[in-house]
Every structure is written in C-alpha cells, then in structure tokens.
Homo-oligomer: A and B are copies of this chain.
Amino acid sequence: MFSTIAKKVREHQEQFPNAEIIRLGIGDVTLPLAPAVVSAMRQAVEEMGAGETFRGYGDEQGYDFLRQAIQGYYKGKNVSLDEQEIFISDGAKSDLGNILDIFEAENTVLIPNPVYPVYVDTNIMAGRKIIYMDGNEGNNFLPLPDESVKADIIYLCSPNNPTGALYNREQLECWVKYALSNGAVILFDSAYEIFIRSEGYPTSIYQIDGAKNCAIEFCSFSKTAGFTGTRCGYTIVPKELISDGVPLNRLWLRRQTTKFNGVPYIVQRGAEAVFSSAGQAQIRSSIEYYMQNARVISGVLSELGIWHTGGENAPYIWLKCPGGMSSWEFFDIMLEKAGVVGTPGAGFGDNGEGFFRLSAFGNSDSTALAMERIKSFAKSGL
C-alpha cells in the first residue's frame, strides 16, 4: 500500500510541480527528540569514546537501568513487574514479528480487521491459519470475543492503529476472560498508550485481573518519545504466562539471547531519560502538540458532518469516506483537490474499505492548512 501511495504522489507531483503536498498519511513523528533524551545520548556517546567508560556487549534483554525505569513507569500504572519480565527491544514491530518464533506454526490466530498489517504479514509468512474478527461502525471498530471462535493467539491494539479506537476496562476484561478460558495468548500492542486521555481506561493490559496469565504486552518509544528513527521498545512477558505447559518468559529469553544482541547502549540511555521528570514533561508536551492536531482534524470533520472515530485517545483519526466513496477514490480526490495525502483504510484489511486514516503526527501549521483545504473543497461540493 505505501508504495502505491508513493507512486501516486510522485505522479501527482510530476503533473503539478508547484503543488504543495501535505502528508497526513504514514504514522511517523515530526517533532525532534526531547532535550533530556538528546542530553543523555550526548553523554553516552562520549562514554563510548573513552576507555574507562566504554561499553561492549550488554545483556540481550537490556540494561538494568532501563528495565528498572520501565518497572517504575508500570508501578505508576499500579502494575507490578519483575525486572526479568521486561525485555528491551529495537522496537515493537521487530518483537511483534519475532514473538512468533515461540509459538507453534500450527496455531490459529485471531486478528481484528482492519489492522496494522504487520500482524497479518508475519503470520502469512509463517503459514499460520488466520481468523479475522470484524471491526466496523456497529462496534465502533472494537470487536469483542465470540465464544464460538477458537484461537490460540489473539492480537489486540488499543489505542488502535489504524482506527484510533480504545477498549474500555469491561471490554478488555471480556478479552482476558476469553483468553483464559480458551488457553489463548493475547499479544497486546500498547504502542499508543501514552495518548490515552480519557479517565478510567486501562493503559496496560496488566491492569486487568488475570492478564498476567494470558497476555504479552508490546510497547515502543517510537510514538511515545519520537524514537521512530532511534529504535527502542520493550516487551513484557510475565513469568506466570504458561502456554502448552511451557513458561513463555523462558522461551522468549532463549529466543532473544540466541537471535538478538541487544539495543545500543547509547539508545538505551536515551530511552532511560524518557522516564526522568524532565523527559516526561518534554514528551508529554510533544504528545499535547500532536493531540492538538487531532482536535483540529476532528473539528473540521465534525463541521463537515463526516463520520469519524479516534483522535481523542490516539493520534489517528479514522473517517468514513463521504458520498460512499471507496478508500482509494477518496485518496485520489484528496490528493487532487486538496493536495493532502492520507492512508486508504482498505490497506488495513477489507473492513477498512470505504474508510480513511489521517494522522496527527504532522506539523501543526501544515495540519491546519490541510484541514482548511479539505473544508474549502468539501464546501464547493465533495
């Protein structure tokens, strides 16, 4: 999908060399790293250049200083983690793919539709049987368990990419109950947890009783702290989590120590600084900046009477293409009439057809301009 988007944009630019295109498509961040992170990495670079402070191989699972900082962060969520349950990774995408190494290829996986394509692609590559569950306007793109469906592995992402939808406590309790009664494992992608603003919503699956017996949680500094080009995340595999009689923590430790060699010391120092009080203040100010974009996008869509979800507790706004347009028809018209690039919902699964994703990660001026353009062309007759 992203290569098709790139091709269409390139062709448009060739045809209209003066058109200024605004990209509200790919979910990449635009704000620079926080000063606290830069300062920590600056120091770490110097340490690596001096004999007395140089660091060679670290533990594959990550340095204690970072694992402890994450442990403290979860304590703030009222989740108690053992340091050995926390594995530092080079990003949620890698771990979400590699985690499959510890599951049987014969397992059946349950995946929401629409969905982050990596869940699907990695399982197709492994030849696993995939059952899709419907996300749609009716359930606000938050599918719930169906007792008649049996699966071994369940993917959940909340706040959701691409829809921005957020599961509440009761809904997550249903999922945990279903997983426990079916002996299934939930792979819980919490990469967008920091965007949750509404009170009372879980920010970790482990805030649900019983989740430590059935869930692995994946998180990332990519969206939290602008690490998309700096590469760091973490995966939590509780010690209580047993699948087919085997503790998954031990299997994942074996997988990682055998097929991974840790995240750069410099990057881990940068990630540690995210949890300092200065770091937290700085990253939350960036999140606020993005969420202001989300409000601008959402405001204009509401004004135009376009159905949409997300944008309140997530950096993504998921809208229904007006006039019954298909995702790609809307993509084309947005590009042509407004010079705005978004992401066709159909690229996230067939349930995404007729929908469209806008991202709040852009520059605020560009985002405002993009929405002004959409407003003008919509008023001139969408």
Contacts and interface: CB of A to CB of B under 8 A. Distances in A.
Contacts of A41: 45, 48, 266
A50 B28 contact: no
Interface stretch (A86-94, A138-146, A294-302, A369-377): A86-94
Interface string A281-311: 0000000000000000000000000000000
Interface size classification for chain A: 35 or more
Which of A31, A90, A258, A262: most chain B Cβ within 10 A? A258
A228 B266 CA distance: 12
Contact of A56 (B58, B228, B255): B228
A263 interface: yes
A265 interface: yes
Contacts of A260: 90, 93-94, 97
A259 interface: yes
Contact of A32 (B49, B91, B263): B49
Contacts of A90: 90, 260-261
16 contacts: A26-B57, A31-B51, A32-B51, A33-B49, A37-B49, A42-B42, A45-B266, A48-B230, A56-B228, A58-B229, A90-B260, A94-B260, A97-B258, A118-B259, A230-B266, A266-B266
